[in-house]
Structure formats: C-alpha cells, structure tokens
Structure 1
Amino acid sequence: MNKIPPGLLPEGLRDRLPPEAEAAARLLRTVMDSVASHGYERVSPPLAEFEEGLVGQLKSDGAQDLLRIIDPVSRRTLALRPDITAQVGRIASTRMAARARPLRLAYGGEILRLRATQLRPERQLLQAGAELIGADSVAAASEILSMAVDTLAEAGVADITVDLTLPDLVPTLADGPFPLAADLIEPVRAELDEKDAGAIAALGADAYLPLIHAAGPVDRALERMRAIDAGGALETRLDGIEAIAAALGDRATIMLDPTERHGFEYQSWLGFSFFGADIAGEIGRGGSYTICPPDGDEEPAMGFSLYLDPLVDAGLGNKDMRRLFLPLGTDTELTKRLRGEGWRTVAALNPDDAAEALGCTHRLDGNEPKQI
C-alpha cells in the first residue's frame, strides 16, 4: 500500500485555516447567542453513539449517512452523528423528559456524513440550530422561523429567502377530497416533487395537477391554493401559512412550494429551507416533526438547523483584526492595557523577529500603536 502523503486528508474533510477557522467560531457564537436570547438552552450531545440507538433516532434515510466504527471498550458498533437534531430529540425524551413543555433547546457542533452531495462536497459540516419540543403549532412555527431569520441576519446573511413546503399535503388530500389508493400515494408525491404533469395524469391523479402550478411567492401561491376545491381540507393549513408569513413580515422573501418533498421526508405539516444572497445552495432547513420517546406517545416538535460552512465560504464571520507587534522588553502593564483595549498582541521572542513577517498590522511606537 502506498504511503499517504503528509497533509492529505480523507475526501470531504478539510482543515480550516486562519482566518476561516476564527470566522466559523465567530458565526457559531453568533448563532448560539442569538437563540439563547430567545430562551433556548444549549445542550451538547456526544460525537458518537451506539449505532442501534442512533439509527432509532434518525428518520427517513438518515441511517444511510452513518459512518460506523467499533468501540474497543464495549465491543459494540458506534456511529458518528450525521445530524444533531435527532440527538436533541433523544435528550428531550429521556434525560429531560420531566422538564415542562414546551422545552427550548439549542445546539452547535460538527457532524460527519458518510457521503457528500454534489452541492456540498464536504462531509464534515458545522451545524447549529434550535428545537422547540412539545409544540408544532402556528405560534411555534412563527417563533422558530422568526428566530432563524433574525439569527441569519445577525450572522450577516443578506436578502434571506424562506422556502415553505407542506410535506404531508398529499396524504392529507388522499384521505379526504382527492382519494388515492394506498399504493399510489408515494408515486404521486414523487411526481409532484418532480413537477411531472404527464406522469401525474398517467397515474390517474388529475385532481392533483393544480398543485404543480401553485408554487411561487407566498401571496400568489396561497391565492392559487385557496382556489383548489378541497372541501375545506386545506383551509386551516393555508391560514397557518398566511399567519407565519405575516409574522416574518418583510424580513425575508417567502416562497411556497406545496409539493416540495426532497429532504422533508420526516417533517409533518410544515417544512422550510433558507437561502441567502451570494451564498451557494441551501444554508439551513427545518420544520415540524415528532419525537419518538422510548415509552409513550410521539411528541410534536418544531426546529431549524443552520449549516455554517457556506456562510464561511461566502466570507461571512470575518473581522478585521488589529495585530500589534511588541518588541522585546515591552512593559507587562502596558501590554495588559493594550489587550484590554482590544489589541491582539504578538510579542517578539528574539531580536530578529519582525512585525511584518509575523502578520502584524501595527507596531509599538513608544507607548502607542502605530500602523505599519
């Protein structure tokens, strides 16, 4: 086997160097401070768990994203987390099961996925977010979405767009005004997601065709959705979307695609994703879902996750740092005062050290900094 060259990392993993490493840490702190100001308490789940437990927490096809290892202590299979949301659900339903609801929890940390995607070649990602456990009402959705939009704005994201979707729309209609055989529900959902009108007609689901044309800006989309004669089955849901849009106001552009399903397989009545100006791809997502406790009934929840790497790649989180070169023998009390004023000091360790070579922006001139 050929020797691995020094510095070579596995595909999808990378080092964050200055100044990006500091930008990532600063963005994470911004998110954590923002959600904390809304009363969300931070939890910190472990990087790895027993595979059996983690698979039980993950829904949809999340188990396929697991990177597995053998624990030499327990001799059981462990899995590295591909998502933190499921772990927060475990904490809420076990260690914090006795806490009053709604329970507000926040998190931030690294995740590792087995495979990358075409849009995001990285497998290691920095994820942060918040979960509202015990409620999935319109009020809960308005709180979560408002907090997410405000947090992204504080992180420097401009021209925020929120894409809303209704993940369980087809099953809801299939059980009521637009009946479908059980074996047709998934095919119809898939073709609606693809916006394939011909395939939907071929499935005998013509009643669902108007849903394709309802996507667009939320006001227009709601108008078209209300024109669909669904016997009142959609009224409450559409009223909820209208109330959520009103709560967000002009802080974001709001779109509605009622049949978008990819990536929202485990969401219940509401799903959403976030986009920003000059940032490639999706920067976060969330929605309503249920937590399955070890014993007892499912518990409703609402939350969002932000992925901070696209923000770092777009140059957000950077801050101009004043690095002050201190010659040999600089007074200790003076150094302490300068650091208290916000300077980052770089002390010479020998007479040959140079301010420019050490990346300093200023040097000490007497007792005062002077720009280089």
Structure 2
Amino acid sequence: MITPDDLLPVGLEDALPDRARAITMAMRAVLDAMDGHGYDRVRPPLVEFERSLAGRMDGVATRRMVRFTDPDSLRTLALRSDMTVQVGRIAATGMASAPRPLRLCYAGDVAFLSADQLDPARQRLQMGAELIGADSVAAASEIVSVAIDALKAAGVANISVDFTLPDLVDTLANKAMPLGPAEREAVRRELDTKDAGGLREAGGGAYLPLLYATGDFDEAIDKLAAIDAGGALASRIEGLHAIAAAIGDGARVTLDPTERHGFEYQSWFGFTLYGEGARGALGRGGTYMIKGSDEAATGFSLYIDPLLDALGSTDDHEAQKLFLPPGHDRDAAARLRAIGWRTVAAIAESDDARALGCSHVLEGKEPRAL
C-alpha cells in the first residue's frame, strides 16, 4: 500500500530495472567511446561550496541549486547542477600542472531546486567531455567528433548537429553593426524570439538578415557570409566551415547563428546535438573560459532522458535471461555468464522460471528455450 510518505517530490522519480539497465548500458557506451579518444574520467563530489560552483563559469544560476549550510564550516554548500564547472575546478587546481591540452570526461547526477518550463526533471544523469587548454577550430572539431562518436556508440541513429555563435551580437555590435549596451540586450532578446518587428523597434534593423541565415549549413553559412560587412565574422565563418568539414558524412549539419538557449557560458562557438527518436536536444557543447584560471576550454554535455528516447525499447535484453534450477552445474553457469547470459538461480523448488522473466532454463551444461 502506497502512503503519502512514499511519494517522491515533483520532478524526481525512481529508475526501475528496465530503465536503470538502459541508463547503465548507454552510460557505459558513451564513457567507453570517450575513453577511446583519450579522455580520462574524473569523479567530482556531489556537493561543493556554493561559491566554487558559481565562480568557475559565467551563467551558472545559483538560484536553481539545492543549497544548505555545512555544519562544519558554516559555509553554504550546494548540490551540483552542472558537472562542467567541477571539471573546470579540477583542471585549475588538482591538475593545474598536467600537460595541456587536458582531456577529461565524466558521468554523474546533477540536481536542481526546481524544474524549468522545458524540462520537468530535477535530477539528471549528465555525461560529457572537456578539452582543456584550447578553444581553437581544431579543438572544436575534435569535441564535436567525439560527441557524435559517443552518441553512435550508444546506438543513436541519424544524428544532426546545429551550430551557433553565442557571441555573435557582441562581435557585430562592437564595430560592424554598432549598438549600445541597452540596445544589445534588446536585440539579443528579439533575436531569441525570432521577432522581426520587435527587432526593428529595438534598433536592430541591421540584424534582420540573421533571422534568415538558418537551416542547412551550406545555404545558411552563405547567407551569414553575405551579412559580414567589413569582415567581422570572417574568422568565425572560416572556423565553422572547417568544423563542418571535419564532421563530413558523420552527421547532418545545420546553422542557427543567433541561438542562445543553453549557451550561458559559451564563447565563440556552440553546438546542439539531435538524434532520431529523441523529443529534444541530446546535448550541447562549445568553447568557453574557466574563470579564476582564465583557461580556454571546449567541451560538451549529454543528458540521459532524451538519449533513452532515441534508443527506444531495451526489451530484447530479456531474451538472454537463464533460469538455474536447484542443484545446477555452477561451472556451466559461470561459463554462460562469461559469454553474456544473465542467470537467475532458484532459491526454492517452487521458483517458476517464466514468472521470474526467464527465457531459458539450464539443462545439464546448456540452455534450453522455454
């Protein structure tokens, strides 16, 4: 019987066996792919001082963190809401003397005080990789390629990558299309909402062509290049071309140069990952600066819920569950486990193989289908 005390808070849920198995399999595949590219795994703590979590990256919202007072230090602690900032701290402290570029990867849960409108979950498994000490075109090309390989290793099909330029307005407003501080914020807001009329009213008429420099990469990048009066974006356009060339046929590439959602701390380059079957973005990444050490970095993060959407059902895993009757051959069972079988041993004569979800039973030394 379920009582009110058994209910979980809004935005939190248990992962029951099928889902937990799918999460574990996807996480292993992603981590193995990143390890294959030379990224070493780190495991930062779940809780840190709030100032440390908020002080390493621009755009980290402390109001979304679960915070409480440390009884030992009497300082404010917080549950991490983004592991990227922790990897930045590790690079700036414990691995400050390690050779650069430094390649690190991670996987772990993050938590939020409240849900947002786009995602009701308040706990997520975050996985990702960071290339620290470089934010060059070569670094961005590697990170995007690693992200695509990680998704493919997990089983995601028809991957697409959407490029953006998070500092686009600032870059243009400095000289090519001058704007004051207040106008810049207004123009960013109207570009976010894709509102042509509002953009004109905000004094951003010159920025209107940016609304149409979106879509398939080859067409959109040409439209963006046509806007580039004075060459303000020449190096960025050249960089986007190089990154797209590195991806090749590995994924579909699109461009939305004014997209800012999810790019709170990225600098000149950002990207969003999508895959067939996923309801939303599979992950995001880009270039950024680690505050405190002022070190450039490039990385990406993936989230498990949309990844599981893209992977679909894992029911086929049940097909290899083997029932071990009382008095079974233990050596035979060990051999079968070693080649991939899952075994369920009887602990009473009355145990029913089918009721326990088994598809086979061990007879002698070999499995027999039920």
TM-score class, shorter: over 0.9
Paired letter, 2:339: E
The structural deviation recorded for 1:367 is: 2.7
User: Which of 361, 367, 370 is equivalent to 1:369?
Assistant: 367
TM-score by length of 1: 0.94
Q: Hey, what's the Cα distance between the residues in 1 that align with 2:181 and 2:13?
A: 45
What runs of 5+ residues in structure 1 fail to find an aligned partner? none
Q: Give 3-state SS (helix, strand or coil) of 2:249's partner.
A: coil
Unaligned runs of 5+ in 2: none
- Equivalent runs, 1:1-372 vs 2, <5 Å: 5-293=4-292, 298-316=294-312, 318=314, 320-321=317-318, 322-372=320-370
CA separation of 1:137 and 1:150: change in aligned 2, threshold 3 A: same
Aligned-residue offset at 1:339: 2.1
Letter aligned with residue 194 of structure 2: K
The aligned amino acid for 1:26 is M
Q: Percent identity?
A: 55
State the 1:315 CA deviation: 4.3
Q: C-alpha displacement at 1:277, in angstroms? A: 1.0
CA RMSD of aligned residues (A): 1.7
Per-residue CA distance 1:135-156 (angstroms, 9 max, x = gap): 0111000000011011111111
Show CA shifts across 1:246-283 (max 9, x none).
11112111111111112213110011111111111111
Distance 2:27 2:147 in 1: 13
In structure 2, do the counterparts of structure 1 residues 196 and 363 end up closer, same or farther at CA, with 3 Å as the change threshold?
same
Deviation, structure 1 residue 4: 5.7
CA separation of 1:174 and 1:341: change in aligned 2, threshold 3 A: closer
In the alignment of these two chains, the number of paired residues is 367
Would the alpha carbon gap of residues 77 and 317 (structure 1) be closer, same or farther in structure 2, given more than 3 Å must change? farther
Task: Quote the offset at 1:223 in angstroms.
Answer: 0.7
Q: Choose 272-281 or 327-336, whichever is displaced more.
A: 327-336
| Cα distance in 2 for residues equivalent to 1:188 and 1:291 | 27
Instruction: Write the distance in 1 (CA, Å) between the matches of 2:228 and 2:69.
Output: 55
Aligned-partner residue type, residue 335 of structure 2: R
Summarize the Cα distance change of 1:61–1:371 in structure 2 as closer, same or farther, 3 Å threshold.
same
Distance 1:96 1:366 in 2: 54
Per-residue CA deviations over 1:287-343 (Å, capped at 9, x if unaligned) read 1100012xx5x1111000000122224444835241111111112222222222322
User: Is the partner of 2:267 in helix, strand or coil?
Assistant: coil
Q: CA deviation at 1:6?
A: 4.8
* Structure-2 separation of matches of 1:60 and 1:12: 23
Residue 50 of structure 1 aligns with an amino acid whose one-letter code is F
C-alpha distance in structure 1 between counterparts of 2:224 and 2:308, whole Å? 38
Q: Residues of 1 paired with 2:177 and 2:57: CA distance?
A: 31
Cα contact 2:337–2:343 (8 A) shared by 1:
yes
State the distance in 2 between where 1:343 and 1:100 align. Answer: 42
- For 2:272 and 2:221, locate their aligned partners in 1 and report how far apart those are by CA, in whole Å: 18
Aligned letter for 2:298?
A: M
Contact 1:24 1:317 in 2 (8 A): no
Check whether the contact 1:156–1:317 (CA below 8 A) recurs between aligned residues: no
